[in-house]
Copies of this chain bind each other. A is one copy, B any other.
Amino acid sequence: MEPRVSLVTLGVRDVARARTFYVDGLGWDPLTEVPAEVVFVQVGHGLLLSLWRRSDLLAESGQDGTGSDRAGSVVPVALAHNVSSPAEVDAVLASARAAGGTVVVPAQAREWGGYSGYFADPDGFRWEVAHNPGLVVGDDGRVTLEAVEPDPGAW
């Protein structure tokens, strides 16, 4: 697994309130957003910040009581590591398990058109390993992000 963070996701209690602070207050331009659900902002070369509804993040990352959390605590944050194919998602999750991590959410097709799963590090911090065909990082580090049609049949 290469050392790479593609997105930092903060699970916020009120997306509109977070948007007011980051977008209206700090003046950060959203790359894309879904009202009351999620706001994406580019915060570095090939790096996005995601302000996501906390309940969704906790559920998807296996921190809502349905997943295993060895640290026994909930942290409403996730780091994403993007790779270039579904097969690579599976391979990275396997390597994280071999390294002593825990695959807390098996890789699966996602409604946004990609494929991802989650592992937890020894403290329970969540990493999403994702293939997102709609997220492209240009040579200059600029990120474009658009939803693509889900195609679970491809996997």
Contacts of A1 in B (CB 8 A): 26-28
B75 touches A21 (CB 8 A): no
* A32 lies within 8 A of chain B by Cβ: no
* A3 lies within 8 A of chain B by Cβ: yes
The 8 A CB mask of A27-45 against B (1 = contact, 0 = none) is 1110000000000011111
CA–CA, A76 and B28, complex, Å? 24
* A79 lies within 8 A of chain B by Cβ: yes
B-contacting residues of A (Cβ < 8 Å)? 1, 3-6, 8, 10, 12-14, 17-18, 20-22, 24-29, 41-47, 49, 54, 71, 75-77, 79, 95-96, 98-101, 121-123, 125, 141
